[in-house]
Amino acid sequence: MFPSISIAMATFNGAAFLKDQLRSLATQTYLPDALWITDDGSTDTTQQIVTEFAIAAPFSVNFVKNDKRLGYGRNFLKAACLTSGDFVAFCDQDDVWLPNKLECVARAAKEFTPGLIVHSGRVVDENLKELGHRFPNIEKTTVIESNFKSDHTFFPGYALVVDRRLIQQLGAIEMMENDSLCTSTFAHDQWLCKTASSARTCVHLSDELVLYRQHASNLIGFQIDLSSKLEVCT
């Protein structure tokens, strides 16, 4: 039996692409136990889209509107802290998951019981046209014991699936509740790559499991990632 996987999604005025992402979650070959969405004060139709999706979704859909702005990093951690599955898959509001994403990571989780699973992605434009790039570009599937000693190693949030208990042990609740963190710069994925990946076994999957959409409103886009000094392990 595969371990259960919960999806943690953070939303903020994501109506433009949200329907595509939600449809991709509903057509997974291995379904999540639940989807938790924490919203950081959207003023568009995000909540209406989620409410309509929840009616026919093949899993539990939970929508929580924040009382105050947390910023995208802390908002993701809040969603993760609400989940109850064995593993947590972080989900951006504007990407599209390929149908076998959760099945692939669940298979790896069962076989290796890692703290962290990361996988490759396929870069596309706002109309989902392929741009000919992989990000992250994981060339070979490998299992690494407590890797990522460097502070500069980074995998984007959409490529992360993390043992839920490990997230709690690393202090996600305290980080989420820490109002001193800058809401515009704290990134949950950078924090997790520095902590979870050095604490437990990590599985690198070469499979491209997400369409990473590039558009005018990307908070952190592909070109920024490429030009940064962050090291992406292959």
Across the chain, which distance is largest between two alpha carbons, in Å?
Answer: 45
Q: What is the pLDDT of residue 59?
A: 98
Output phi, psi for 145, to 5 deg. -85, 115
Report yes or no on 234 lying in a domain.
no
Supply the pTM of this predicted model. Answer: 0.90
Specify if 232 maps to a domain: no
Whether 233 is covered by a domain: the verdict is: no
The pLDDT score that the predictor gives to residue 146 is: 63
Range of the domain at 135: 5-227
**pLDDT of residue 219 exceeding 60:** no
Contact 118, 160 (CB under 8 A): yes
Q: Cα 17–22–24 angle (5° rounding)?
A: 100
**Residue 114 and residue 154 in contact, taking contact as beta carbons nearer than 8 Å:** no
Residues 177 and 132: their CA atoms lie apart, in Å, by 40
Least confident of 12-26, 125-139, 154-168, 177-191: 177-191
pLDDT tens track for 102-151 = 999 999 999 999 999 999 999 999 999 999 999 999 999 999 876 544 44
Residue 58 in any domain: the answer is yes
- Nearest-angstrom CA–CA distance, 123 and 165: 31
Render pLDDT for 60-73 as a digit per residue (tens, 0 to 9): 999 999 999 999 99
Q: Which run of H or of E encompasses 167?
A: helix 164-169
Calculate the CA dihedral of residues 28, 93, 51, 75 and round it to 10 degrees: 120
Asked if the model's pLDDT at residue 224 lies above 70, the reply is no
What proportion of the chain, given as a percentage, has pLDDT over 70?
88
pLDDT-derived band at 180 (thresholds 50, 70, 90) equals confident
- In a domain, residue 208? The reply is yes
- Place 16 in a pLDDT band, splitting at 50, 70 and 90: very high
Weakest-pLDDT range from 74-78, 101-105, 133-137, 216-220: 216-220
- Please tell me the predicted confidence (pLDDT) of residue 182: 77
Region 159-172: mean pLDDT is 94
pLDDT at residue 197 in the model: 66
Q: In which band, very low, low, confident or very high, does the pLDDT at 193 lie, cut at 50, 70 and 90? A: confident
Average pLDDT value for the chain: 89
* CA–CA separation, 29 and 49 (whole Å): 23
pLDDT at residue 226 in the model: 38
Q: How confident is the model at residue 228 (pLDDT cuts 50, 70, 90)?
A: very low
Tell me the C-alpha distance between 103 and 30, whole Å. 5
At a CB cut-off of 8 Å and minimum separation 6, what does 60 contact? Answer: 33, 34, 35
CATH number of domain containing 26? 3.90.550.10
Total domains in the chain come to 1
Q: Tokens representing 124? A: 């596309």
In a domain, 165, yes or no: yes
